[in-house]
Amino acid sequence: MPSLSTVLTATRIIQDVKRCIVIPENDVRQLCFLSQELLMQESNIQLIDTPITICGDIHGQLHDLLTLFRIAKDPPETKYLFLGDFVDRGFYSLETFLLLLCYKVRYPDRIFLIRGNHESRQITSVYGFYDECLRKYGNANVWRYCCDVFDYISLGAYIMGASGESGGVFCIHGGLSPAVEKIDEIRLIDRKQEVPHDGSMCDLLWSDPEENIPAWAISPRGAGYLFGYDETKKFLHRNNLSLIARAHQLVMEGYKEVFDHGLVTVWSAPNYCYRCGNVAAVLTLSDDLERTYTVFDSVLQDCNEIPSKKPVADYFI
Amino acid sequence: MIDIQPTSPRRVKVYSLQGDRWIDRGTGYCSGELDAETERPIFIVRNEQDDTEVLLKAPIEGTTQYQKQQDTLIVWTDPDGNDFALSFQELEGCYSICDFLISVQQNIEPNISLVAVVPVGSDGEITEMIAGPVPPPPEPKDENLPEVLDYLNQGSKTTFFRESISKFIDSEGYLSKLVDAFNRNEKGRNLTNLHYLCDIIKTLVFYNDTNILEQFLDDNIIIGVVGILEYDPDFPSYKSNNREYISDETKFKEVIPLNDQETSDIIKKTFRLQFLKDVVLARLLDDATFGWIATLIYFNQVKIIKFLNENEHFLSSLFAMYQGDDYVIKDGVSDEAKNEANRVLTPKSDGSCSSPSNGDADADPQDADELLQKKRDGIRLVHQFVIVAKGLQATARSQFYSALVKRGLFKLIGFAFKDIHTSSRVLATELIVSIVEHDVLLINGTQPATDDIDEMPREDEFGDENSLEIKERFLSDDMTLFALLTFILLEEEDIGLKTQVSEALKVLLHPSPSTVSSANLSGGSLGPSSLNTTNYLTAFYSKVSPSLFEPLVKVASLALKPRSSTPLSDSDGAVTAVPSSSSSEESKFSSLKRHESVLHQNLCELVSLCASEHEKHLSRSFFLENDVLLGVSYLVNPVFPLQTRLGAVRCLKSILVLNDEFYTRYIINMDVLKPVVELLKETNNSNNLANSCCLDLLNTLIRGDANGSVPNNRFVREYLLSQYEDTLMLNFLGRELVQKTKLEKKAKKQEEEEDVISDEDLGGNTMTSPDPDYGFGDATEEVLAKVTPEKRLWEESDEGGEAESEQTSKPTGNTGQSKKRQSPAKNPVKDSKGKLKREKLKKQNDKKKVSSILKSKFAHAGAKLLNMKKED
């Protein structure tokens, strides 16, 4: 149960973040430390009950995340699982991540975060989050605090229906790894590290399903693997699963089921990069693990500025 | 008409259309030329068999449209309605005729046109204008803006149109007219027109035309352009404040007068470009336009950095502000690195940073404040350009960074670290990290390494007037930066800065080949191999590491104390560990504890780095002599925050995978893994990060690391089995470890029985001869060469122990284990230094016996492991 001061701090930051007010560095640091302590109590693969709403990549599109919360209801009313890639690309990576962390410390049992391949020092240095922090604070320490939190975020989730009859749902950002046959094996990973370049932890965050191959293939991304129908079926069977829910790939329709409905990609960043023209979706699993997809588009509401980057404060000559 | 050159004759077939059939008019050589009589442009085709026979002579005039089809065909209808086609034998023939047509259009017959017919999909096709008459865009008036927009949209479709319009806009001051229209309509509050204007500007952006963009950036235009873009029809209910931002001249902070109008202009334009790219147009830009603007910015930045490099005065006068703030010690080498840093860093009693020594201490307070502000701005300026330089090519970056160092960057850094403003220290650390990451020699080069001076790139690269200063820096020796960073790591309370400094230390401690690759500035042969890290690291271990790792040594001393005394008593000033609490609440604001935890975690990471990357005789001797591993082990105890405890477990794991038998022996002798086993037990019933962290270590002990098995782990497993079997049996992976180890032992026992016979055959020598795979021989020599006398005593007796072990190893195999149980950590001893020393000797005597036993075991088991491997 979060303490009163935690609740107050989190509530205040939530309000400010929604209005795109830059959060003081000290507050970010404090929030990051609180989150670390909370996250390190979680297992690599978290066990979560239904009903739950599963969301894919957000990529710093704060206003679309706010739309998502408006449509699917704010926490704690709805229980959420976010499949990673909170940051990069969009203009509000920091606010997006802080908002999710605030909800996490405020309602630790109503919102769950797992790590995406963009929750990494190396990737964020290239795809925007680092620059955003530098731009907003003039130095990179806020980025450092957030990256330290990234290391503590768990790797996946296992969702079991209330009835327990049909197989559970395995949730992961990327996909399968040739090094992981049973979900239990993931427990042996010491996840507190920068996302490695290979090995099971890397694969789980980087792999993609591919319909035209049976088993494994080299991934064009340069990390992780492509995995096909056969491997997916085997994995489902071995682990008594009915579904693998993952994100990691843009889907114009917001979601896409493949492999005889054994795997779904969920994408929750509408009009990705502010110009891809796609819609977004979230997946809600009922107690019987029945799937309901809610599709939504990008709308500007409740925000006091046109989404854009912050200009630098000063320029020196 | 001098521009029009006749084309060389090209082989071609001439066709004309009759009804719906193309009739072959013969084959000949076609050229475009000016008719000798009329001086009007014509196509002329002469028969290939008889060049006096003209197959076709067609004037190029009027509004004829020429179509280029399938790359080799030109088709047109003449003013009389006759259709002709020229089918060229080669592509080049067709192209040269097209070029001719273009030049005719541009110079003589502006109303003819040339279009390319491009097939699209399976049966569609589009025509794309290559040359032709382009009417000027309509003059922007309040009532015709939709037309203007439509016109520009149409024009955006072909390169030719875009170029023509771009030329027109350039020459006719079209943008000022648009800005005038904007000002009128904004005054008149005509929102519809403002939206049209915004779309017009957006359309022009997507022309991706450097000319147009350059004009946007013009002093008289830019405000209008960003103003127009405030009225985005896609967001009718929002209005940004672009103009307010861009017209705020105070955003430009001039620390030192640039005295160069051209560069000043480039800097301003680059700033505006960045603003356009990142803010005003951020949502609009597609990858192509984004990349194009980014490239323009890049080239400007190259120019700016080049200017800063080459300008004689700018950087020098910038750094002159910090005269007297330089932290470089001029009066020889100081032994105690920390004192050094302390002396340099101690703030003046008034709490502000020290004032410069060059005479303006007498200046009035306001001036002093101004100067202070200027100095702080100077740090931000250098930081800004160091970040800019990060995006440039390695050579340009090297030049800029070495120019910074050469012209006095360290004065600035000296000032920054004394400044009470955290932001100054943060930026200065980022400067160091950026530069060191790029080329460690730039900083390392200020270290002594006298035998390296000749190889230093700056020696031959830079002028004489500066060499004196550089030499001083060489002479003034050594670990100053290390000392400074160590001091900050230990004392700084800002956690972000602490982490940053730790990053800087990691880079300094692990100068990888890539970080020095750019050192070949002057074309010298300076490569990674000539990086004299031995001197550098020896200096580190003798001068810096005692201070750097002191917190761990202190913690280790706790571990060596009797259990009865309270480990956390602060009276001896050992550590200030506060009991960890499970509730995040209590720990939340305990910044002191946080600060210490971050320090401990960083030190654990540095231990891992040093142990795995540095030469063993340096790092291992230091860590073993000072019981650093014991300190790390102690950090796993529950009195420390979980983050610290796990950091320590990871550090121990990184030591285990080194497969180093000295470390292994130490770990076993000193019962280093005890707290890890306890942490495992503590988390047995919870599936969380701490548990996974322990399991990861057990898994490594069972299976080795990613690179394969780690032979020495077997001895660690045996030690765990003998000490903690009961606890391990409570955990699924622990059980696996126990079972595996027991099986191994069983197998070993059987083999030993067989070996008794073979040992006798060999006269028992196998037991003592070290297995080369474990590096006993040379590793021992290395240590012996470097250790302190006290240490030598241990090692020597250890050597003696080997002889002893010849006779005693087998019978006392179990005694060794029981002796280890009486490890000094549990022996009561008084808190005095003398006693501690004696205790240490006693401990070492114990070690001697145990290790000699283990050593013989090692050699034995190692040989067997090798045999097993071969069988595999």
- Cβ separation B696–A40 shorter than 8 A: no
For residue B190, the enclosing domain spans: 145-300
Same domain, B538 and B555: no
Q: Which pLDDT score, from 0 to 100, does residue B643 have?
A: 93
Q: Which pLDDT score, from 0 to 100, does residue B391 have?
A: 86
The contacts of residue B513 (CB under 8 Å, 6+ apart) are B527, B528
Same domain, B241 and B356: no
Q: Which residues of B touch A127 (CB under 8 A)?
A: none
Whether residue B866 is predicted with pLDDT greater than 70 in this model: the reply is no
Whether residue B825 is predicted with pLDDT greater than 70 in this model: the reply is no
Q: What residues of A are annotated to the active site?
A: 118
Same domain, B620 and B486: no
Same domain, B711 and B783: yes
Q: Which pLDDT score, from 0 to 100, does residue B459 have?
A: 36
Question: Which two three-digit tokens encode residue B600?
Answer: 């401990």
Point out the least confidently predicted range of B137-146, B322-331, B482-491: B322-331
Point out the least confidently predicted range of B152-161, B694-703, B852-861: B852-861
Q: Which pLDDT score, from 0 to 100, does residue B819 have?
A: 39
Question: Which two three-digit tokens encode residue B268?
Answer: 């301003």
The string of pLDDT tens digits covering residues B771-813 is 333 433 344 444 434 433 343 333 433 433 333 333 333 333 3
Q: A212 exposed, middle or buried (CB, 10 Å; 0-12, 13-18, 19+)?
A: exposed
Share of chain B above pLDDT 70, in %: 71
How close B648 gets to chain A, by Cα (Å)?
13
Contact between A283 and A292 (Cβ < 8 Å)? yes
Region B239-249: mean pLDDT is: 80
Whether residue A208 is predicted with pLDDT greater than 90 in this model: the reply is yes
Instruction: Say how many domains are in chain B.
Output: 4
Q: Which pLDDT score, from 0 to 100, does residue A246 have?
A: 98
Whether residue B1 is predicted with pLDDT greater than 90 in this model: the reply is no
Q: Which pLDDT score, from 0 to 100, does residue B793 have?
A: 35
B302 three-class SS: helix
Query: Taking a contact as any Cβ pair under 8 Å apart, which residues of chain A between 74 and 103 contact chain B?
Result: 91
- Cβ separation A37–B235 shorter than 8 A: no
Contact between A112 and A84 (Cβ < 8 Å)? no
Same domain, B729 and B628: yes
Whether residue B871 is predicted with pLDDT greater than 90 in this model: the reply is no
- Cβ separation B426–A139 shorter than 8 A: yes
Is B799 inside a domain boundary?
Answer: yes
Nearest to A65 by CA among A236, A307, A230: A307
Q: Which residue of B has its CA nearest to A90?
A: B283
C-alpha torsion angle, residues B558, B561, B567, B572 (rounded to 10): -70
Provide the CA B247 distance to its chain's centre, in angstroms.
34
* pLDDT bracket for residue B566 (50, 70, 90): very low
Point out the least confidently predicted range of A128-142, B74-88, B220-234, B336-350: B336-350
Q: Which pLDDT score, from 0 to 100, does residue B678 have?
A: 95
How close B814 gets to chain A, by Cα (Å)?
33
Q: Which pLDDT score, from 0 to 100, does residue B858 have?
A: 46
Q: Which pLDDT score, from 0 to 100, does residue B803 have?
A: 38
Q: Which pLDDT score, from 0 to 100, does residue A47 have?
A: 95
Q: Which residue has the higher pLDDT, B563 or B225?
A: B225
Same domain, B149 and B98: no
Q: Which residue of B has its CA nearest to A271?
A: B283
Region B248-269: mean pLDDT is: 84
Same domain, B167 and B104: no
Share of chain A above pLDDT 90, in %: 83
Q: Domain of B71: which CATH number? A: 2.30.29.30
Whether residue B756 is predicted with pLDDT greater than 90 in this model: the reply is no
Is B4 inside a domain boundary?
Answer: no
Q: Which pLDDT score, from 0 to 100, does residue B470 have?
A: 33
- Cβ separation A316–B380 shorter than 8 A: yes
Is B307 inside a domain boundary?
Answer: no
Q: Which residue of A has its CA nearest to B706?
A: A199
Same domain, B105 and B185: no
Q: Which pLDDT score, from 0 to 100, does residue B50 have?
A: 86
A271: contact with B, CB 8 A cutoff? no
Share of chain A above pLDDT 70, in %: 97
* pLDDT bracket for residue B494 (50, 70, 90): confident
Q: Which pLDDT score, from 0 to 100, does residue B457 have?
A: 39
B408 three-class SS: coil
> Distance (Å, rounded) from C-alpha B143 to C-alpha B150?
13
Is B461 inside a domain boundary?
Answer: yes
A36: contact with B, CB 8 A cutoff? yes
Which of B77, B98, B131 corresponds to the end of one domain? B131
- Give the CB-side neighbour count of residue B225, counting CA atoms within 13 A: 26
Residue tagged 């600060």 (tokens): B595
Q: Which pLDDT score, from 0 to 100, does residue B368 have?
A: 82
* pLDDT bracket for residue B405 (50, 70, 90): confident
Q: Which residue has the higher pLDDT, B72 or B757?
A: B72
Same domain, B386 and B291: no
Whether residue B485 is predicted with pLDDT greater than 50 in this model: the reply is yes
How close A168 gets to chain B, by Cα (Å)?
19
* pLDDT bracket for residue A307 (50, 70, 90): confident
ipTM for this prediction? 0.94
The string of pLDDT tens digits covering residues A274-306 is 889 999 999 999 999 999 999 999 987 656 677
Q: Which pLDDT score, from 0 to 100, does residue A56 have?
A: 97
Q: Which residue has the higher pLDDT, A150 or A310?
A: A150
For testing contact with chain B, the best of A306, A308, A312, A314 (most B CBs within 10 A): A306
Q: Which pLDDT score, from 0 to 100, does residue A67 have?
A: 94
Same domain, B203 and B321: no
Q: Which pLDDT score, from 0 to 100, does residue B455 have?
A: 37
Q: Which pLDDT score, from 0 to 100, does residue A69 have?
A: 96
CATH superfamily of A25-296: Metallo-dependent phosphatases (3.60.21.10)
Q: Which residue has the higher pLDDT, B669 or B453?
A: B669
Same domain, B510 and B656: no
Q: Which pLDDT score, from 0 to 100, does residue B326 have?
A: 59
The string of pLDDT tens digits covering residues B589-643 is 356 688 899 999 999 999 999 999 998 999 999 999 999 999 999 999 999 999 9
Whether residue B445 is predicted with pLDDT greater than 80 in this model: the reply is no
How close A290 gets to chain B, by Cα (Å)?
28
Q: Which residues of A touch B500 (CB under 8 A)?
A: 141, 144
> Distance (Å, rounded) from C-alpha B455 to C-alpha B316?
25
* pLDDT bracket for residue A244 (50, 70, 90): very high
Is B2 inside a domain boundary?
Answer: no
Query: Taking a contact as any Cβ pair under 8 Å apart, which residues of chain A between 217 and 236 contact chain B?
Result: none
The string of pLDDT tens digits covering residues B184-215 is 999 998 989 999 999 999 988 888 888 888 88
- Cβ separation A315–B238 shorter than 8 A: no
Q: Which pLDDT score, from 0 to 100, does residue B513 have?
A: 53
> Distance (Å, rounded) from C-alpha B193 to C-alpha B360?
59
- Cβ separation A317–B430 shorter than 8 A: no
Contact between B627 and B839 (Cβ < 8 Å)? no
The string of pLDDT tens digits covering residues B567-576 is 444 434 344 4
The string of pLDDT tens digits covering residues B163-173 is 888 888 877 78
Same domain, B110 and B245: no
* pLDDT bracket for residue B845 (50, 70, 90): low
Q: Which pLDDT score, from 0 to 100, does residue A123 have?
A: 96
Average confidence score pLDDT of chain B: 75
Which of B245, B267, B300 corresponds to the end of one domain? B300
- Cβ separation A187–B692 shorter than 8 A: yes
Q: Which residues of B touch A192 (CB under 8 A)?
A: 646, 650, 689, 693
The contacts of residue B187 (CB under 8 Å, 6+ apart) are none
Can you give the residue ranges of every domain in chain A? 25-296
Q: Is the dihedral of CA B5, B9, B13, B16 positive or negative?
A: positive
Whether residue A52 is predicted with pLDDT greater than 90 in this model: the reply is yes
